Amino acid sequence: MDTPADHPIPNSPFTLSEAESMGFTRDKLRGANFAGAGYGLYRPTSWEFTLPEAARALCAATPGAWISHTTAAQLHGLILPPWLEDSTELHLSKPRKLPETRRKGITGHTLLAFEDEIETVDGLAVSTPARTWLDLARVLPLPNLVCMGDQLIRIPRIVFEGRSEPYATIASLRNMMARHGNLQGIVRARAALELMRVGSDSGPETMLRLAMLDAGLPEPELQLALWSTPNAPSADLGYRKRRIAIQYDGGTHNDELQAKSDARRNAAFRNAGWDVLIFDRDHLADGFDSAVRQIKAAMRRAWTDPAVVAGFAASG
């Protein structure tokens, strides 16, 4: 046997020092049960890749380093474009005074980071969501950077997320960016900051808003409540004066209970004389081109609605 019965095979990657503490010699590590995963790193041959386990082993083998960039975004659950969502490439950052990490399958970075830009999550050193956003400014297209930024500044619902404070605010992001004026991607980060808004609950909602702005439509209001009372029906975005409510229904809206709630919400807007537009993944797939056409048509209809015209006249 390659491994004695009293030395069970680990179920995740491990460092050489951890292997020695478990009683595995270098000869045993060359056996069929193990495979090298980079300098000073090993994994069970039966192990299936999981990001947290791989990141933990990498940090353990690289003192002074922290998980960053795309890997940090994945661990934090931040919104990434499809081509990066399932990336298995690991990103590891070190202070500039240390040599850059050079390991197979690892993208190493050396950069300046302040103490409040790195946090510990389940024992793992990782860049904060805000710093992760800034690090990715050099590689993400502007719309995707705005999507992630909107996610950082949105007000979370404690009942669903276990937190009541946003990951960041516009002011805190601006202060962090001021520290890193020469960082690659800082110009794009500044442009993204100007487009970010509190109130977008998903990446598609942000993409829809950006498509509307690119098409010359007025800036919509986000989380638009029908009435000024608690728990009033609300639209993802829309135009109050024109009585246009816009909803983006993603995959979660396929749940029966959610579907009934959505139907009641939309009926409340329609009963109040609003035009309700509902978009989904098909509209996202075409870059919201067809959605923009429908919104423009609704804007034109609004000018023929006597209630809308009267409302504009009353507002001066």
Q: What is the pLDDT along the chain (316 residues), one digit of tens a residue?
A: 444 445 566 655 666 666 666 766 666 666 566 555 555 555 565 555 467 777 877 777 778 899 999 999 999 999 999 999 888 888 999 998 876 666 667 888 999 999 999 999 888 899 999 999 999 999 999 999 999 999 999 999 888 788 889 999 999 999 999 999 999 999 999 999 999 999 999 999 999 999 999 999 999 999 999 999 988 999 999 999 999 999 999 865 457 888 888 999 999 999 999 999 999 999 999 999 999 999 999 999 988 776 665 565 556 5
Domain assignment present for 40: no
Q: Is residue 185 exposed (0-12), middle (13-18) or buried (19+ Cβ within 10 Å)? A: middle
Same domain, 208 and 261: yes
Same domain, 226 and 186: no
Same domain, 53 and 191: yes
Same domain, 121 and 234: no
Same domain, 136 and 77: yes
Rounded-to-integer distance, Cα 277 and Cα 275, Å: 7
Same domain, 187 and 218: no
Domain assignment present for 295: yes
Domain assignment present for 233: yes
Same domain, 148 and 80: yes
Reported as half-sphere exposure (CB side, CA atoms, 13 A), residue 111 has a value of 25
Domain assignment present for 27: no
Domain assignment present for 4: no
Same domain, 246 and 149: no
Give the strand pairing for 244-248 and 118-121: unpaired
CB 246 within 8 A of CB 311: no
pLDDT confidence of residue 242: 95
Q: Which of 195, 211, 230 represents a domain boundary (last residue)?
A: 195
User: What is the residue range of 162's domain?
Assistant: 49-195
Give the strand pairing for 14-15 and 124-127: unpaired
Total number of domains in the chain: 2
Rounded-to-integer distance, Cα 55 and Cα 72, Å: 9
pTM: 0.81
CB count in 10 Å sphere of residue 42: 24
Same domain, 156 and 227: no
Same domain, 225 and 246: yes
Q: Which of 141, 174, 195 represents a domain boundary (last residue)?
A: 195
Same domain, 86 and 125: yes
The CATH number of residue 241's host domain is 3.40.960.10
Domain assignment present for 2: no
pLDDT confidence of residue 2: 44
Q: Which of 137, 169, 195 represents a domain boundary (last residue)?
A: 195
Same domain, 167 and 131: yes
